[in-house]
Chain A
Amino acid sequence: AQKVTQAQTEISVVEKEDVTLDCVYETRDTTYYLFWYKQPPSGELVFLIRRNSFDEQNEISGRYSWNFQKSTSSFNFTITASQVVDSAVYFCALIGLYAGGTSYGKLTFGQGTILTVHP
């Protein structure tokens, strides 16, 4: 069974603060993909990043950065100099590829972290 845990239910920061959203995952699959999605107040799900299990390089995209560590089964997301527009629910998710087979693209989501950025 796969599991994704986002221990932070809610985070509140003031604009321009840096904030890190934690994600810890469990899977027995040796090949897997990790994702982050953003759900703004309007409700749609916005894809942010996909990372496969063979690539532990950290990634930076503008104010966003991701730290993938297989040794701790974590895939944390940092927003630098947060802005009010970053206020949203953020989901970490996992697709595990069964040995010799396929996951059929089924996503296992974490519980989500509600981020509120105050002006």
Chain B
Amino acid sequence: NAGVTQTPKFRVLKTGQSMTLLCAQDMNHEYMYWYRQDPGMGLRLIHYSVGEGTTAKGEVPDGYNVSRLKKQNFLLGLESAAPSQTSVYFCASSWTGGLMNTEAFFGQGTRLTVV
């Protein structure tokens, strides 16, 4: 049981380049999330999805797009990377968001550097 898997683990981009981060979960979770972690700021929610075909904005969505075409996958896209998007990105999934919510399961993170 792999849990939540992020691809790639490391990436260096030049300003203006585009890329997609892939998150895959094998727990049949409905809810999926993308967070970014920056020093002194904790983790902040970028976008999330409450089911296949749905997406919603989080706290810091600008410069990112997401898609959830399949329940097990949640893609995070950067159309034109900027140095401000240098960060560690975490994907997470959970069973539900309501009272029966379990803890979120996190991927191992993707360290992205934009030069």
Partners in one complex: yes
If A97-B98, A106-B58, A106-B97 touch, whether A91 touches B42 (CB-CB below 8 Å) is yes
If A43-B88, A111-B41 touch, whether A102 touches B33 (CB-CB below 8 Å) is no
Chain B proximity mask over A1-39: 1 for CB below 8 Å, otherwise 0: 000101001000000000000000000000101010000
If A106-B58, A109-B43 touch, whether A43 touches B103 (CB-CB below 8 Å) is no
In the complex, A104→B111 CA distance in Å? 26
Count of chain B residues near A, Cβ 8 A: 30
Which residues of chain B have a CB within 8 Å of any CB of chain A? Answer: 31, 33, 35, 40-45, 48, 50, 56, 58, 88, 90, 92, 94, 96-99, 101-106, 108-109, 111
Count how many pairs of residues, one from A and one from B, have CB atoms less than 8 Å apart in the complex. 68
Chain B nearest CB: distance from A69 CB in Å? 22
B44, closest chain A residue (CB): A109
CB–CB A106/B99 < 8 A? no
In the complex, A6→B42 CA distance in Å? 10
Partner pick for B108 among A43, A107, A111, CB 8 A cutoff: A43
A48, closest chain B residue (CB): B103
List the A side residues contacting B109 at CB < 8 Å.
43-45
In the complex, A109→B33 CA distance in Å? 14
CB–CB A104/B50 < 8 A? yes
A110, closest chain B residue (CB): B42
**Can you give 13 contacting A-B residue pairs, CB < 8 Å?**
A6-B42, A31-B99, A33-B101, A45-B106, A45-B109, A50-B103, A93-B43, A95-B101, A103-B97, A104-B97, A105-B96, A106-B48, A109-B42
List the B side residues contacting A31 at CB < 8 Å.
99
In the complex, A47→B90 CA distance in Å? 14
CB–CB B48/A104 < 8 A? yes
CB–CB B40/A97 < 8 A? no
